[in-house]
Amino acid sequence: MNARHRTVALPRPLSRRRLMHETLAAALLASGALAARAGPSYGGAAKPEAVAATDPQTKAVDIKNFAFVPATLTVAVGTRVVWTNRDDEAHLVASSDGAFKASPAMDTDDSFAFVFDKPGTYAYFCAIHPMMRGTIVVR
């Protein structure tokens, strides 16, 4: 509700002065000066925001009752797809054409993730139960 309160609670707003400090620190690091001293402290402070900015979007596919749910999932380029096995039976995610490396056999509640960074239609199946099939469409 209170904008002032929110500003205090979240570390989000990045002041221009802080950006300049980080740019300056990067320049100093690049030149090699102060690398040992400034590295750890500046790295620690800058990292959470850098990770948040580049963190890919995540979409979930559940594996339950011997099926991928949803069977077809359409995502944007760069999306991280996470499959989670909700069955008591082991399952596995394998690309039908080798477009991505197969997961290991997943036990109950195990997950496997892959980031789709090229557009295309990616068919996959469970190598343990080959009748289980799914598709990721990347646009």
- Closer of 25 and 81 to Cu ion (Cβ): 81
Binder to Cu ion among 91, 106, 124, 134 (CB under 5 A)?
A: 91
Angle CA 116–135–57, to nearest 5 = 35
- Closer of 68 and 116 to Cu ion (Cβ): 68
- CA–CA gap between residue 124 and residue 136 (Å, rounded): 8
Closest distance of CB 8 from Cu ion, Å: 49
Closest distance of CB 100 from Cu ion, Å: 17
Which single residue brings its beta carbon nearest to Cu ion? 126
Instruction: Check binding of 126 to Cu ion (CB under 5 A).
Output: yes
Binder to Cu ion among 28, 67, 69, 128 (CB under 5 A)?
A: 128
Instruction: Check binding of 129 to Cu ion (CB under 5 A).
Output: yes
Distance, first Cα to last Cα, the chain: 37
Nearest to 71 by CA among 126, 14, 9: 126
CB atoms within 10 A of CB 24: 12
